[in-house]
C-alpha cells in the first residue's frame, strides 16, 4: 500500500510539475540574490555559504510541502484517501519519502548555480557532503510533513504552516549549517558528530510522531 | 448495519449536532433532509471518520468506528459534496488509484465500460481538472459503481446534473437498492427523496425531527 501511495505522490507531480518548478525557480532566485547582493571575499563566503544554502532550502521546502498538501485540499481529494481502509500512517510516510525525493531533485538543480555564482570550490570529500545532505533532507521533510499534517485541517493552514514549521525546523537548519561548514572545511568528524546526532534524533522523533499521530491529525 | 448513538458536535462552542441517534438496517435507504447548515454533511463526515465528534458512538457492522482502525470500515463508502479526486489525474488514473487503495482489482475494460455508460468515455484520459461540475458528479457515481461496499453515504447525488445525468444516477441508485445495498443520502428535493428511500430523517437545529 505504501508503494501505491508513493506512486500517486510522484505521478501527480509528474503530471502537473507545479511543485518542482516552483521550488527550483524560487531556489535559483534566492541563490542569485545572495550572490549578486554580497561583495564579500572568498574566505568570508566559504564561512557563510552553508548558511545561505540551508536558508534557501528552508524556504523552498516550506513552499514544496505546502503545494504537496494543497493537492489534497483541492477537490477534497484527501477525503477519499482518509476514508480508504488503509493505515493512515502510510500517507505520512509516502509524503515524507516523496518530499525527500523532490527536495533532493531540487538541490541537484540548484547546487551547480550555487557554487558557480558564489565562486566557491566544491567540497573535497564529495561523498560525505552528499550523504550528510541527504540525511538532513530526511530531517527537514519529516518535520515539514508532520507540521503540514497538523496545519492542513485548519482554516488558517496557510498562516499556521510557516508559524509552526520555521521554529520547529530551526534546530535542523542550525545543525545542517554546522555540518556543511565542517564538511566544506574538512574538519574531523568528532567536531561535528553532535550535530549529526541532533538531526538523527529529530528524524526519529518526527518520523515516529508523524506515523503514529497522522491517524488523528487528518480528522477535522 | 449502522447504529448512531448520541452524537454531538460543536464548532467554536456552537452546537451543530445535539445527541443525534438513529439506526439503519441492512438494505434500508434513508434520506436526510434539512436546511443549509442543519448539520447533514457534518453528520456524514463524522460517520465516514473524516471528522471527530464530541461524544457518542457509531457502530458499523458490529464495530465501534471510534475504537477501530479505518481498515475495519472497508465496506463503508463515502461520497462527499466535492469529487474527492486529484485534479491533475485523468478519470481512469483516479479510479485506478482509488480501486488500488481498497485492494480491488478490475479489468480496464470494465472501468471503461462504466465510464462509457456515464458518457465519460471521450474525456476518460483528460485531467479531471477540465471537467464540468456535472461530469464530476457523474464520475463520483462511476466510482461508487466500481467499489465494493455494503453501505454508502452520498452527499447530494443529484446536484449539477442534466436530464441524462439525472436518469443515469437514478437508475444506478435503484439498482443498488435492488441489490439490497444500504444507502444514506442527503437530498433537498422531496420528490427525489420519496422515490429513493424507505425513510426520511429531517435535521433541524442539530436534532432529528
**What does each of the 220 residues of chain A score in pLDDT, given as a tens digit?**
889 999 988 888 888 777 788 888 888 888 888 888 777 777 777 778 888 889 989 988 888 888 777 788 888 888 888 888 888 889 999 999 999 998 898 889 888 888 888 888 888 888 999 999 999 999 999 999 999 888 887 777 778 888 888 999 999 999 999 999 888 888 888 888 899 999 999 999 999 999 988 888 877 7
Per-position DSSP letters for A176-198, written without gaps between them? HHHHHHHHHTT--HHHHHHHHHH
To 10 degrees, the CA torsion angle through A173, A179, A183, A186?
140
Give the phi and the psi of residue B202 in degrees, each rounded to 5: -105, 125
Q: If pLDDT is split at 50, 70 and 90, which confidence band does B65 have?
A: confident
Residues of B whose CB is below 8 A from A84? 70, 98, 101-102
Instruction: Say which residues have a Cβ less than 8 Å from residue B118's Cβ, sequence separation at least 6.
Output: B138, B139, B141, B142, B165, B168
Chain B: give the shortest CA distance to residue A82, in Å. Answer: 7
Q: What is the mean pLDDT of residues B20-44?
A: 88
B101 with A84: Cβ contact below 8 A: yes
The interface predicted TM-score of the complex, written ipTM, equals: 0.83
Q: Are strands B182-186 and B151-155 parallel, antiparallel or unpaired?
A: parallel
**Of A114-118, B30-34, B190-194, highest mean pLDDT:** B30-34
Residue B83 has pLDDT above 90, yes or no: no
Range of the domain at A169: 2-217
Chain A: give the shortest CA distance to residue B54, in Å. Answer: 12
A82 with B128: Cβ contact below 8 A: no
Chain A: give the shortest CA distance to residue B29, in Å. Answer: 21
- Give the residue from chain A lying closest to B86, CA to CA: A77
Q: What is the mean pLDDT of residues B122-133?
A: 89
Cell of A64: 514544496
Per-position DSSP letters for B148-187, written without gaps between them? --SEEEEE-TTTT--HHHHHHHHHHHHHHHHTT-EEEEE-
- Total domains in chain A come to 1
Edge to edge, what strands does the sheet with B182-186 contain?
B76-79, B151-155, B182-186, B29-33, B199-204, B207-208
Could you tell me if B62 lies within 8 Å of chain A, comparing CB atoms?
Answer: no
pTM, whole model, 2 decimals? 0.87
- List of domains in chain B: 27-53+73-198 (3.40.50.300)
A82 with B50: Cβ contact below 8 A: yes
Report the pLDDT value the prediction gives residue A68, as an integer from 0 to 100: 78
List Cα–Cα distances, A174 to A28, A48, A59, B165, in angstroms.
21, 12, 14, 58
Report the pLDDT value the prediction gives residue B76, as an integer from 0 to 100: 87
Q: What CA–CA distance (Å, rounded) separates A87 from B20?
A: 29
How many Cβ pairs closer than 8 A exist between chain A and B?
86
The answer to whether B187 touches B193, Cβ cutoff 8 Å, is: yes
A12 with B128: Cβ contact below 8 A: no
Amino acid at each position: 500500500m505504501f508503494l501505491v501511495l508513493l506512486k500517486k505522490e510522484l505521478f501527480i507531480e509528474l503530471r502537473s510539475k507545479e511543485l518542482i518548478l516552483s521550488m527550483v525557480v524560487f531556489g535559483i532566485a534566492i541563490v542569485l540574490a545572495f550572490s549578486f547582493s554580497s561583495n564579500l571575499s572568498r574566505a568570508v563566503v566559504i564561512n557563510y555559504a552553508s548558511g545561505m544554502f540551508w536558508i534557501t532550502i528552508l524556504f523552498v521546502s516550506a513552499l514544496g510541502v505546502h503545494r504537496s498538501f494543497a493537492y489534497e485540499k483541492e477537490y477534497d481529494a484527501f477525503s477519499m484517501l482518509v476514508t480508504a481502509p488503509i493505515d493512515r500512517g502510510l500517507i505520512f510516510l509516502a509524503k515524507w519519502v516523496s518530499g525527500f525525493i523532490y527536495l533532493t531533485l531540487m538541490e541537484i538543480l540548484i547546487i551547480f548555480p550555487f557554487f558557480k555564482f558564489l565562486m566557491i570550490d566544491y567540497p573535497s570529500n564529495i561523498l560525505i557532503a552528499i550523504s550528510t545532505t541527504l540525511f538532513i533532507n530526511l530531517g527537514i521533510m519529516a518535520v515539514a510533513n508532520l507540521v503540514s499534517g497538523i496545519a492542513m485541517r485548519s482554516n488558517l493552514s496557510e498562516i499556521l504552516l510557516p508559524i509552526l514549521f520555521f521554529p520547529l525546523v530551526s534546530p535542523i537548519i542550525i545543525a545542517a549549517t554546522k555540518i556543511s561548514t565542517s564538511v566544506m572545511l574538512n574538519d574531523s568528524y568528532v567536531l561535528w558528530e553532535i550535530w549529526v546526532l541532533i538531526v538523527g534524533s529529530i528524524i526519529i522523533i518526527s518520523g515516529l510522531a508523524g506515523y503514529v499521530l497522522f491517524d488523528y491529525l487528518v480528522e477535522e | 448495519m449502522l447504529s448512531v448513538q448520541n452524537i454531538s458536535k460543536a464548532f467554536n462552542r456552537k452546537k451543530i449536532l445535539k445527541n443525534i441517534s438513529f439506526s439503519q438496517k441492512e438494505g434500508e435507504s434513508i434520506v436526510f433532509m434539512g436546511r443549509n447548515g442543519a448539520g447533514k454533511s457534518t453528520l456524514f463526515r463524522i460517520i465516514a471518520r473524516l471528522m471527530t465528534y464530541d461524544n457518542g458512538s457509531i457502530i458499523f457492522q458490529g464495530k465501534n468506528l471510534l475504537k477501530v482502525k479505518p481498515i475495519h470500515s472497508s465496506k463503508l463508502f463515502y461520497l462527499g459534496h466535492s469529487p474527492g479526486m486529484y485534479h491533475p489525474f485523468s478519470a481512469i488514473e483516479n479510479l485506478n488509484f482509488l480501486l488500488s487503495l481498497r485492494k480491488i482489482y478490475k479489468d480496464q475494460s470494465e472501468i471503461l465500460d462504466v465510464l462509457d455508460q456515464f458518457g465519460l468515455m471521450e474525456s476518460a484520459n483528460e485531467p479531471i481538472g477540465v471537467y464540468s461540475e456535472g461530469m464530476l458528479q457523474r464520475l463520483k457515481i462511476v466510482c461508487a459503481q466500481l467499489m465494493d461496499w455494503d453501505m454508502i453515504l452520498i452527499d447530494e447525488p443529484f446536484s449539477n446534473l442534466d436530464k441524462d445525468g439525472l436518469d443515469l444516477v437514478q437508475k444506478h441508485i435503484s439498482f443498488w437498492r435492488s441489490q439490497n445495498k444500504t444507502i444514506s443520502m442527503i437530498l433537498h428535493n422531496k420528490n427525489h427523496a420519496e422515490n429513493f428511500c424507505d425513510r426520511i430523517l429531517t435535521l433541524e437545529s442539530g436534532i432529528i425531527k
